[in-house]
Amino acid sequence: MIPPAAEGPIYLDASATSPPAGSVVAVMAAAQASAWANPSSLHGYGLAAADLLERSRQAIALSLSAEDDHLVFCSGGTEAAHLALAGVAAGLCPGRVVISAVEHPAVVAAAHSLVSKGWTVAHCPVDALGRVRLDALQALLQPPTRLVSVIWGQSEVGTLQPIEQIGALCRQAGVLFHTDAVQVVGHRLIDFSTLPVDLLSFTAHKLQGPRGIGVLLARQGLALQPVLAGGGQEGGLRAGTEPVLLAAGLAEALRLCDQRLSAHGGLDPLELLRDQLARALQQLPGIAISGCPRRRLPHHLSLLVDDGAGHPLPGRRLVLALWRQGLAVSSGTACHRGQASVSPVLTAMGLPPSWAAAGLRISLGPWLSSADLAGVPQALASAQAEVAAELLSDRARP
């Protein structure tokens, strides 16, 4: 497979999705040839599929320092988040679920789906850097709160939340804690056995794995109820024929991530590329970094862009202008397609509407090199000038 940066436009949108790694495609092709059967079937074909499914499960669990029976395969991060919140809420008396003000839309929807079952939802505020306000969270952990969900790495602005502190507060209060780790898994080594987290969800396609598969890790002893019923698969927690090929692809994608991280002392080498690019972009007038400058996702760079005279430029127009410059980037999260351009995340961080529409996201993957990024500052400067001229022309029209 040809990496996106090798030919044509340069792909800088890894936080939306990532191209499957060559070895992931190869592993899935081999699985298609040898383990295509239903893993619930008792004949030899089914047993071969069941064997690969369980070996993939074991490899994924080992990568995350979790037990095999902690791991539930889902269709992606969205379903995994819904299973986490709805699944655990079904075994509790209705109370309050607390989510941060900067959650992914999937978690927001999962939390609000509980309202019809007697739950209430509270949104914990964040500061100007997108960090959960721990004082506000501590106050919200009082009864009737029974469940908390906080995104680990914010997909739009890159801020990393202090998961260890949040988890410790939840445990002191006797409150269950879920974290959406979609943007984190693959970019740092995860030890689920020591994390003060009860439920952790992620997906494969953000880390060069296949689309269509995600994972929920759940502590042993949690009384989870299925969201999808109709079969006994996944320990009765997720009905439907298991995606054997996708599980094999996810296991291989995680193996590649672990290999890359271990070779660099547990640090993501993309952080060095990101920092080099950030320094170059900050030399341009009208460019500012949003989110937390230090505790942030290592592959992620979020920007607020103006015309050089303090007037914010719409992020979506910049995305289109940068595409014409040969760069694929994002504004906001890809899951907001078709919705208003004002970012609820930037709004929660205290930005006025004009600035909350000026966000730009650049997210890197291991297919990129310094040479691929060398032209990004000039491309952004050109896009900035193009969009500023467009807006000036729009204002001049009668």
In a domain, 376, yes or no: yes
**What is the percent of the chain with per-residue pLDDT over 70, rounded to a whole number?**
96
**What is the percent of the chain with per-residue pLDDT over 90, rounded to a whole number?**
87
pLDDT tens digits, 39-54: 999 999 999 999 999 9
The residue type of 116 is S
pLDDT tens digits, 261-281: 999 999 999 999 999 999 999
Q: Could you give the CA distance from residue 104 to residue 333 in angstroms, rounded to a whole number?
A: 8
In a domain, 98, yes or no: no
Q: Could you give the CA distance from residue 1 to residue 27 in angstroms, rounded to a whole number?
A: 13
Q: Say what the pLDDT of residue 2 is.
A: 47
126 burial type by CB count under 10 A (0-12 exposed, 13-18 middle, 19+ buried): buried
Range 291-303 burial, b when 16+ CB lie within 10 A, else e: bbeeebbbbbbbb
In a domain, 137, yes or no: no
Backbone angles phi, psi at 123, to 5 degrees: -105, 120
In a domain, 322, yes or no: yes
Q: Say what the pLDDT of residue 169 is.
A: 98
User: Residue 374: which CATH number?
Assistant: 3.90.1150.10
pLDDT over threshold 50, residue 1: no
pLDDT over threshold 70, residue 257: yes
Task: Domain of residue 357: give its range.
Answer: 10-17+267-396
Count of structural domains, the chain: 1
Catalytically active residues are 335
Which pLDDT band, with edges at 50, 70 and 90, does 3 fall under? low
Rounded average pLDDT over 334-346? 69
In a domain, 180, yes or no: no
Rounded average pLDDT over 132-150? 98
Q: Say what the pLDDT of residue 160 is.
A: 98
Grouping H, G, I as helix, E, B as strand and the rest as coil, residue 387 is helix
Check if the beta carbon of residue 179 is closer than 8 Å to that of residue 152: yes
pLDDT over threshold 60, residue 338: no
Question: How many alpha carbons fall within 13 Å on the CB side of residue 6?
Answer: 6
In this prediction the pTM is 0.94
In a domain, 144, yes or no: no
Q: Could you give the CA distance from residue 250 to residue 254 in angstroms, rounded to a whole number?
A: 6
In a domain, 258, yes or no: no
Tokens of 65: 């320092």
pLDDT tens digits, 55-82: 999 999 999 999 988 899 999 999 999 9
Give CA separation, 280 vs 109, 284, 292, in Å: 38, 8, 18
Give the closest residue to 386 by CA, choosing from 332, 319, 331: 319
Tokens of 130: 């997108």
Give CA separation, 346 vs 57, 123, 234, 353, 359, in Å: 37, 15, 38, 9, 8
- Which residues sit opposite 100 in a β-bridge? 124
CB atoms within 10 A of CB 177: 24
Check if the beta carbon of residue 314 is closer than 8 Å to that of residue 357: yes
Rounded average pLDDT over 150-156? 97
Which pLDDT band, with edges at 50, 70 and 90, does 27 fall under? very high
In a domain, 176, yes or no: no
Torsion on CA atoms 66, 68, 74, 75, rounded to nearest 10:
90
pLDDT tens digits, 173-228: 999 999 999 999 999 999 999 999 999 999 999 999 999 999 999 998 898 998 88
